[in-house]
Homo-oligomer: A and B are copies of this chain.
């Protein structure tokens, strides 16, 4: 048996899910019992050997380059780890695959990281418009029913965040990491708040400014092409959606210090980020191809700096399956637009993107990824609402505590 076959054999012997491996010379091996639902073709011995340098890196590169081909449902293939259970070293192959998706969208926001963000988000607004919703929400959507479409659910998501932040007319809001400005514009238009929004992607900022003008809230929304760490001022509300994953674990204390500095005492904040059920380190493929240093944290890793600085957690919700559903929408829309995408992007990029969307979805369904929304206050707010019912009803009034501070 040559080394390549030996590697595959080591990885897959004992697989509970039947799988067929096709080698570069046309020979075939089967693993597991029953009729294989998946066929993985290695077009060269090198594609297998590269797994040795790092399984997820090797598989990710091989898939991108077309040296590795997958037939059958890609997400199901990547769901193997949960079906195996955990702690079986032979399965790091597939475990690693679902992990790299976890950290794919993380990027290190160290000073000078503008280039890294640009790499991902400045690809072209037109590209994202092909497969995102109308409001260009490149973060987890919120579905009240599995049949709700992506546009409606992303509108609902924006409204849900505004409700969680308890926005009221005339308040000032700081948003760090505002994407294409959809939430800032929505909040200004619907809730009558004044938003100051930070982003370091030039393409996104330009788009966001046009959006605010078109929505006639240009006077109430200020988009700043600046790092969130430079944020100044004092605001009633703090919102950050899908940015903590960019920040890097070593910068959480800095992130929290920005909140403490800019959020008024007793003021409320909402953060929304990709996390993990269990703390794990990032992925080699991501570090090489996407951004160095990004990290999707376990909940405790975020809460420790919150606790040290007296940010008081009021509510945490894990919406992981909403992100799986969101990614499935994106993946379908991506394939619907594949002909248009091919006019601009090469096959390697397309394969990378397809793999990324499907792996990420599998990660949220089966791989221990999480989507956390946290509501907190800077210190204590003794006038907070008694229950969370207001998030789910349109009653104008709600009971609030009123304990003297």
How far is A220 from B40 in the complex, measured between Cα atoms in Å?
A: 52
- A393-B392, A403-B365 given as contacts; is B307 within 8 A of A313 (CB)? no
Give the chain B neighbours of A384 by CB distance below 8 A: 321
Q: Which residue of B lies closest to A318 (CB)?
A: B314
A82 to B312, CA, bound (A): 14
Given contacts A82-B380, A399-B145, A405-B82, contact A307 B318 (CB under 8 A): no
Q: List A351-390 residues whose CB lies under 8 Å from chain B.
A: 365-366, 368, 370, 380, 382, 384, 386-389
Report yes or no: A299 in contact with B313, Cβ–Cβ below 8 A: yes
Closest residue on chain B to residue A305 by CB atoms: B300
Within 8 Å by CB of A310, from B278, B322, B403, lies B278
Which residue from chain B places its CB closest to the CB of A147 in the assembled complex?
B399
Q: A312 near B318 (CB under 8 angstroms)? A: yes
Contact partner of A318 (CB less than 8 A), chosen from B315, B370, B399, is: B315
User: Is the pair A366, B405 in contact by a Cβ cutoff of 8 Å?
Assistant: yes
A389: chain B residues within 8 A (beta carbon): 144, 392
Give the residue name and chain of the B residue nearest to A393 (CB).
Answer: B392
Q: Find out whether the CB atom of B312 lies under 8 angstroms from the CB atom of A277.
A: yes
Verify if A288 is at the interface (C-beta below 8 Å from B).
no
Decide: B403 and A321 in contact? CB cutoff 8 A.
yes
Q: Chain B residues near A316 (CB, 8 Å)?
A: 313, 315-316
Contact in complex: A277, B392 (CB < 8 Å):
no
Task: State the CA gap A278–B312 with chains docked (Å).
Answer: 8
A146 contacts the other chain (Cβ, under 8 Å)? yes
Q: How far is the CA of A304 from the CA of B303 in the complex (A)?
A: 10
Residues A146 and B313 in contact in the complex (CB < 8 Å), given A278-B307, A300-B300, A403-B365 = no
| B388 pairs with A392, CB closer than 8 A | yes
Q: Kindly identify which residue among B279, B307, B308, B366 contacts A380, using a CB–CB cutoff of 8 Å.
A: B366
Closest beta carbon of chain B to A270's beta carbon, Å: 14
- Given the complex of chains A and B, what is the CA–CA distance between A387 and B318 in angstroms? 10
| A47 is an interface residue with CB less than 8 A from chain B | no
Near B by CB (< 8 A), chain A positions 28-61 give: none
Name the distance in Å between A211's Cβ and chain B's nearest Cβ.
28
Determine how close the nearest CB of chain B comes to the CB of A273; give it in whole angstroms.
Answer: 14
B residues in contact with A79, CB < 8 Å: 404
A145 touches B315 (CB 8 A): no
Residues in A305-359 with C-beta less than 8 Å from chain B: 307-308, 310, 312-318, 321-322, 324-325
Is the beta-carbon distance between A315 and B317 smaller than 8 angstroms? yes
A-B contact pairs, 11 of them (CB 8 A): A144-B399, A277-B380, A300-B304, A303-B303, A310-B368, A313-B316, A313-B370, A321-B384, A324-B403, A365-B403, A392-B392
